[in-house]
């Protein structure tokens, strides 16, 4: 069971930081392939498709979580149907609107946007990357790298979330890079 907070960004959705995460399932590392996508999961990481949301505005098509164990350190990959298609040709035009929305949502959670929007690609698709920080339980900070890209009007969203100062923080950063760099439509 994975518990996260989801907030809509206009027609697209953004997963933010969450409460508690318990990664389970019998898959450990290797290649994940389902929902028309594939990606490499770091060795020793577990998979879970049992995400629940504390709050969600917008409906995900599917969501999968990957991580080295239990806790708030997790990478979640989600797909959303949107009303807009971001491409390399229009990404600059939409960047300000997406950034304003992200900043408003993060500020509403008493957090900060540390960087972004940075126009990026993942699996040959164009979108944006943000780095955020929001307060977590017990005074700890939850940091996240958010990557969102579009294939037509389907948004693929990757939330790489870690509790600041966590012993598995570096592993989440490495795992996030692996998942983002190997993500592709199958």
Q: CA 123 → CA 28, 37, 55, 86, distances in Å?
A: 23, 9, 28, 14
What is the longest distance spanned by two Cα atoms in the chain? 44
The two three-digit tokens of residue 84, written as one number: 């807009």
Instruction: State the pLDDT confidence band at 102, using cuts at 50, 70 and 90.
Output: confident
Collapsing DSSP to helix, strand or coil, 129 comes out as: strand
Instruction: State the pLDDT confidence band at 12, using cuts at 50, 70 and 90.
Output: very low
Fold of the CATH domain 2-185: Protein Transport Mog1p; Chain A (3.40.1000)
What's residue 139's pLDDT? 82
pLDDT above 50 for 118: yes
pLDDT digits (tens, 9 = 90+) for 67-100: 887 677 889 999 989 888 999 999 999 999 889 8
pLDDT digits (tens, 9 = 90+) for 128-182: 999 999 888 778 888 999 999 999 999 999 999 988 888 888 899 999 999 999 9
Q: Which residue has the higher pLDDT, 106 or 18?
A: 106
- pTM of structure: 0.83
Of all residues in the chain, the percent with pLDDT exceeding 90 is 41
130 strand-pairing partners? 146
Q: What does 23-79 look like in DSSP terms, one character per residue?
A: ---S-EEEEEEETTEEEEEEEEEEEE--EEESS-SS-EEEEEEEESSSSS-EEEEEE
Q: What residues does each domain of the chain span?
A: 2-185
What's residue 25's pLDDT? 52
pLDDT above 70 for 23: no
Q: Quick one: DSSP state of residue 96?
A: H
Say if residues 113 and 103 touch (Cβ distance below 8 Å): yes
Q: Quick one: DSSP state of residue 19?
A: S
User: Rounded distance, CA 16 to CA 55, Å?
Assistant: 10
């Amino acid at each position: 069971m994975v518990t996260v907070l989801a907030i809509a960004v206009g027609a697209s959705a953004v997963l933010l930081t969450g409460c508690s995460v318990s990664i389970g399932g019998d898959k450990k590392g290797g290649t994940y392939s389902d929902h028309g996508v594939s990606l490499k999961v770091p060795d020793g990481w577990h998979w879970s498709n049992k995400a629940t949301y504390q709050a969600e505005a917008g409906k995900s098509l599917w969501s999968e979580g990957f991580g080295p164990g239990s806790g708030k350190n997790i990478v979640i990959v989600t797909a959303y149907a949107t009303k807009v298609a971001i491409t390399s040709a229009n990404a600059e035009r939409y960047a300000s609107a997406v950034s304003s929305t992200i900043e408003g949502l993060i500020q509403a959670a008493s957090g900060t946007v540390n960087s972004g929007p940075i126009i990026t690609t993942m699996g040959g698709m164009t979108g944006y990357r943000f780095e955020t920080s929001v307060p977590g339980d017990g005074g700890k900070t939850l940091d996240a790298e958010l990557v969102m890209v579009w294939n037509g009007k389907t948004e693929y969203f990757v939330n790489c979330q870690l509790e600041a100062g966590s012993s598995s923080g570096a592993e989440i950063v490495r795992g996030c890079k692996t998942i983002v760099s190997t993500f592709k439509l199958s």
